[in-house]
Chains A and B, each alone.
Chain A
Amino acid sequence: MRISTYEQRAICQVLREVFGEDAEILLFGSRTDDQRRGGDIDLYVEADLPRELLYRKELEALRRLETVIGEQRIDLLIRPRCVPLRAHHTLARRTGIPLL
């Protein structure tokens, strides 16, 4: 995968603080492919979260991620566990690499 160890640790720390320790975090998209260059950092998060808080938590997470890893383009795909799996969730889960 094409994110640094520092970025991986920082991402996990921020996302677990925002979404809880049991949040599942995966990197998906072009950054999983070592042969490619550049591209957004696409992250999939699955967490116990009321759906009313989904967008609020997304903004908080993105703002905090910008603070620790800079204003690079990060896309978050968040699935509250109370929301049914949709096609884009399934694709991210199938192709993503877990971040620990």
Chain B
Amino acid sequence: MIENDVVFAENLASAAEIAARLAYSKRRIKPLIPLEPERITRLSAEQDERIDAFLKRFEALVDQVSGKLFRGVAYMEQEPTNGFSRRDLSMLMEKLGVLESADRWAELVLLRNKSTHPDEPERSAGRVNEAFGQTDFLLGLVQAIQAYASAKGLVMEEPV
């Protein structure tokens, strides 16, 4: 494999590790979902940590996919991405069949970027519920990129 292939394979392996931790965190917070705004201020410290870990892993996986994997796929396809906006890149992934919906991905990135404050319990609870609901889509996306990489003969990772 040439150097860029190795980098892509390493980035994909990192994504798979984060995805496995995210899947674990999702199972750990499942009993708390749907989270009500009234409850978010009355969580135990342990429950709070579970949710924080889940959100951190969710955010880390969105970063890894958008920052590393999408550009890696574009490179493998020899698609020039200089000057591409985030939206341009996700549209390219949709065109290549890696991403099911660029619109849904755009909302996932917004979810990752739009943090909440303690004085907004409705938004805070809504963000957790929304991330929980989108996790399977995110994990499925990593699987789709793994399948793409396998088809290209690049990576032999275990599926998420």
Interface, chain A (partner B; CB < 8 A) = 51-52, 54-56, 58-60, 62-63, 66-67, 71, 80, 83, 86-88
CA A66 – CA B85 in complex, angstroms? 11
Q: List 26 A-B contacts (CB under 8 A).
A: A51-B37, A51-B122, A52-B34, A52-B126, A54-B122, A54-B126, A55-B123, A55-B126, A55-B127, A55-B129, A55-B130, A56-B126, A58-B114, A58-B123, A59-B107, A59-B111, A59-B130, A60-B107, A62-B107, A62-B110, A63-B106, A63-B107, A71-B87, A83-B122, A86-B119, A88-B119
CB-based A-B contact count at 8 angstroms: 45
Q: At the interface, is chain B mostly helix, strand, loop or mixed?
A: helix
Judged by DSSP, the binding face of A is: helix
* B interface residues (Cβ-Cβ under 8 A, vs A): 34, 37, 85-87, 103, 106-107, 110-111, 114, 119, 122-123, 125-127, 129-130
Inter-subunit contact A66/B123 (CB<8 Å): no
Besides A52-B129, A71-B85, 8 new A-B residue pairs in contact (Cβ under 8 A), listed by A number: A52-B126, A54-B123, A55-B127, A55-B129, A55-B130, A56-B126, A59-B110, A59-B111
